[in-house]
Structure 1
Amino acid sequence: MKQISKRLTKKDLKEFLDSKVVQYNNFKFIESDPIQIPHLFTKKEDIEIAGFLTATIAWGNRKSIINNAKRMILLLENAPFDFVMNHEETDLEKLLPFVHRTFNGKDFIQFINSLQHIYKNHGGLESAFSKHAKKDSLQKSISNFKTTFFEIEHLPRTQKHVSDPLKNSAAKRINMFLRWMIRNDKAGVDFGIWKSLSPSQLSCPLDVHSGNVARKLGLLTRKQNDGKALFELDTNLRKLDKNDPVKYDFALFGLGVFEGF
């Protein structure tokens, strides 16, 4: 990464992206982003469950994602943690009509049951993700989390809604959720409520927008948005800021979505 492109040196690129982080990593960002859903809550467990469910359906049209995430929370009686821990079997029936693209009511019910299992038997979401964490990566943690999440009786179809980085998935939605929980940006966007993990361990939520911008800036050469591409992008972002590499998600996403870079 001695020369990022013909136009930008590493120093120039860092200054450019740092300025875009400042531009987009601010409270106004929440207005049009799915992260607004967990921001409806103040209790840690409510924030993380609302965030996890919202991130799970975060693909497709952003307006649709936000509307359906709000619907999920309403179905959970605006008390996600209480519903997860104390629901009766009959309470789950009202979740059946829910659908967001390929995530349906049966998947939703499975997620509620798996989340209850995580909180009752594995110390909660933070504890489950903290296991198997490496110094500079949470990808093995995500893979092991999936195993833990589905160690109870479950519908095989629902497994596709939790990605496995060790099977070459970029795991965009879970990496986004982890950014929300772990990064404390002091700007009021990311929560930073998980203290057992560090922003330096995070990976960029790689999607079509951030991927395209990263390629134009010379941060990514691989054409597919998969696990190998994520490793390449992470490696280059860590060269720009090893302590908080995922802050550049705001820059890459903002440039792609809001500026058509």
Structure 2
Amino acid sequence: MNQAELKSFLDEKVIQYNTLDFIESDPVQIPHLFTRKEDIEIAGFLSATIAWGNRTMIIKNSHRMIDLMGNAPFDFVMSHTEDDLQRLESFVHRTFNGQDFSFFIKSLQNIYTNHDGLEAVFSKNQETPSIQKSISEFKKIFFEIPHAQRTQKHVSDPMNGSAAKRINMYLRWMCRQDSKGVDLGIWKSISPSILSCPLDVHSGNVARKLGLLTRKQNDGKALAELDLQLRKLDSTDPVKYDFALFGLGVFEGF
């Protein structure tokens, strides 16, 4: 199909999948539990961090994270005690364990205390047409306090060739604003036009079948290639096509 036909096809799929029904089977439901800005962004960040593997298990363990924080993420981050952190030691999701969880809480406290919060950190170092440099700079700040080396693997760095799928998904949740109610759109300082599609095995395979992607690996170079093609389809809101690519891959086996 030509570009006009491809855009029409994908636009229809965005409409099909960017609905409130999508929330029921997606970890985006976790930040939707809250109304306070800081609770939304912390709950979203933690659930996005463990968003790999079986989706049912991702959602189950994300809810457990929130339970362990007393269903008050921001209050827990800002006023936790060492005893509170010990409660997190039993947590595990694949390779993300209680030690990692405890560090994330400490680092988030540092970010809110000394860097004006998550939005402020991600808003720095923005470049057009991509937010990938901001993600790399975020990782530097996130690990500026003492930490175990093992924990670094849980935050991707696009400048090291990663597609940073989970952080790009998180930024879609926080920054993308539309009337459908899936993405929360609470961050106004980052334009959706510079966001990148969360590239994973599903969206990557669909993109290749549609001729949007030629690179075989789902890495940073592939993401840059996909970004370029999606921005041709919609320069103001390219990541809306994540709904189409993901939906076609996961729900339709395209």
Give the alignment of 1:1-261 within 5 angstroms.
8-261=1-254
Aligned length: 254
The SS at the match of 1:28 is helix
Distance in structure 2 (CA, Å) of the matches to 1:208 and 1:113: 32
Distance in structure 1 (CA, Å) of the matches to 2:178 and 2:41: 17
Once the 2 structures are TM-superposed, how far is the Cα of residue 135 of structure 1 from its aligned partner?
A: 2.3
Once the 2 structures are TM-superposed, how far is the Cα of residue 36 of structure 1 from its aligned partner?
A: 0.4
The SS at the match of 1:96 is helix
Per the normalisation by structure 1, the TM-score is 0.97
Aligned residue type for 2:118:
L
Once the 2 structures are TM-superposed, how far is the Cα of residue 185 of structure 1 from its aligned partner?
A: 1.9
Aligned residue type for 1:83:
F
Aligned residue type for 1:88:
T
Distance in structure 2 (CA, Å) of the matches to 1:180 and 1:87: 26
Once the 2 structures are TM-superposed, how far is the Cα of residue 89 of structure 1 from its aligned partner?
A: 1.4
Percent identity of equivalent pairs: 74
Note the alpha carbon deviations across 1:19-62, whole angstroms, 9 max, x for none: 00000001110010000011000000000000000000000000
Aligned to 1:3: none
Per the normalisation by structure 2, the TM-score is 1.00
Distance in structure 2 (CA, Å) of the matches to 1:179 and 1:95: 28
Distance in structure 1 (CA, Å) of the matches to 2:16 and 2:151: 37
Distance in structure 2 (CA, Å) of the matches to 1:69 and 1:59: 11
Distance in structure 2 (CA, Å) of the matches to 1:138 and 1:124: 17
Distance in structure 1 (CA, Å) of the matches to 2:206 and 2:182: 22
Distance in structure 2 (CA, Å) of the matches to 1:88 and 1:186: 40
Distance in structure 2 (CA, Å) of the matches to 1:163 and 1:108: 16
Distance in structure 1 (CA, Å) of the matches to 2:131 and 2:10: 24
Aligned residue type for 2:108:
L
Distance in structure 1 (CA, Å) of the matches to 2:179 and 2:82: 40
Aligned residue type for 2:217:
Q
Gaps in structure 1 of 5+ consecutive residues: 1-7
Distance in structure 2 (CA, Å) of the matches to 1:81 and 1:201: 27
